A and B are shown apart, each in its own frame.
Chain A
Amino acid sequence: MSVADILTVLLVSVGLVFFLAGSVGLLRFPDFHSRLHALTKADNLGLGLIALGVAFQVAEPFGIVKLVLVWFLAVLAAASVAQLIARSALDRLPDGKEADKRG
């Protein structure tokens, strides 16, 4: 096993832990706005670590450019969507509690 392989195994494994944390958070957090933390933070950190781990296995430089772009797009999408959904969910909570259970 080369140094690159060891780094891949380490980074991917830590990335997997973040994905697991994200999914558990998504299931266990009590309300929608706390569940958004799981969506935006844990999973995108996990994806970044996995992309970094995979980068050690990529031969051509263009592949690394694509990996960086994938991660950037995922973070951009999650950040924008989290803000928008959080905002639209707030609109439907006039008295500070979960007013509209169905959405």
Chain B
Amino acid sequence: MSAAFLLDAGLCLLILAAALLAMAGRDLFGAIAFFIVYGIMIALAWVRLEAVDVALAEAAIGAGLTGVLLIGAWAMLNRLGVPEDHKPAAGWLRLVAGSASGAITIILVAAVMALPAGREGLAPMVAEELADHGVSNPVTGVLLDFRAYDTLMESIVLVVALVAVWALTPPAVWGGVPGLRQHTRPDGVLAMFGRLLPPIGLVVGVYLVWAGSSQPGGAFQAGTVLAAVWLLVVMAGIHDEPPVSSRLLRTVLVAGPALFLAIGIAGLGVGALLAYPAEYAYALILLIEFTLTFSIAATLALLVAGRVRRAP
């Protein structure tokens, strides 16, 4: 048994333990803490699978933003005095749930084991196509070139999800500011942390999107990091959230998907929807990627901030 296999086996055990404790832990806050830990472990699994692009996304989202989102939700429910306990699930329900999920797991395991060994995958095809497009990170190539319609749809899904969250706003505060007004001691540790970290986070975010065309990174990872940085600025009380009726904010939110769509439709002129003219492909992909980064950052930050709570 090689060291690599032992490491992977240990990592899989920790992933399963974290998931089990996030599912079955008695304390709700403990379950959320384990879910954050679980995100970190999953990010390590992606590193082991040499899927560094996914690892970056999981580190930023699973271990970063989701934790803030869940703890914020837990705190809100706690303050509303919502009981955490309920009548426990009936014995027969546990039995049915256990056998159903057990059966599904066994079917999936059988399916995985039945797959033929030796996979070629689509990597050679992607590498061949990328050769004349200037983007050497295959994942970015897939996201913004071959399967650009997935990415386009996804950037629209994000905005739609935000609109759905905003739709829960009561009429009295419509167009107002999301979340609570955050305040801190001006010379305290949190305010200092909120001033020191964002410049570094901004550099890391820009680095990730810049690096994304030739090595792991890209609009989603960078957008998530920038969103997290903005959330810290808000939590440290340094700057309040903008009102959702702000025209500038709304422009940033739709700029990425709109530009993507416009360039995609213009692609009809050279043959197909979302086709780029070969000589401009690199420049267009970079342009879309940078614009998309800021739209994704704004959308994710507002999704985590939640619905509007204060009048404009």
Contact = CB atoms under 8 A, between A and B. Distances in A.
A2 interface: no
B193 A80 contact: yes
A59 to B, nearest CB: 15
Given A69-B200, A73-B200, A80 B29 contact: no
B197 A84 contact: no
Interface string B188-208: 011011001100100000000
Nearest to A72: B200
Contacts of B29: 103
A80 B191 CA distance: 10
A83 interface: yes
B189 A84 contact: yes
**A interface, how many residues as a size bin?**
under 10
Contacts of A103: 29
A76 interface: yes
A77 B69 CA distance: 19
B196 A76 contact: yes
Nearest to A82: B189
- What's the dominant secondary structure at chain A's contact region? helix
Nearest to A103: B29
Contacts of B197: 73, 76
A73 B64 CA distance: 14
Range class of the B interface residue count: under 10
A69 to B, nearest CB: 7
Contacts of B192: 80
Nearest to B201: A73
Nearest to B207: A66
Contacts of A69: 200
Interface in A70-91: 73, 76, 80, 83-84
Interface string B254-295: 000000000000000000000000000000000000000000
A14 B167 CA distance: 55
A76 B29 CA distance: 25
B190 A84 contact: yes
A80 B200 contact: no
A69 B201 CA distance: 11
Interface in A46-103: 69, 73, 76, 80, 83-84, 102-103
Contacts of A83: 189
A28 B29 CA distance: 22
Interface string B157-194: 00000000000000000000000000000000110110
Nearest to A83: B189
A69 B203 CA distance: 11
Interface in B22-54: 27, 29
The 7 A-B pairs with the shortest beta carbon distances in the complex, nearest first, are A80-B193, A83-B189, A80-B189, A84-B189, A84-B190, A76-B196, A73-B200
Given A76-B193, A76-B197, A102-B27, 12 more contacts: A69-B200, A73-B197, A73-B200, A76-B196, A80-B189, A80-B190, A80-B192, A80-B193, A83-B189, A84-B189, A84-B190, A103-B29
15 contacts: A69-B200, A73-B197, A73-B200, A76-B193, A76-B196, A76-B197, A80-B189, A80-B190, A80-B192, A80-B193, A83-B189, A84-B189, A84-B190, A102-B27, A103-B29
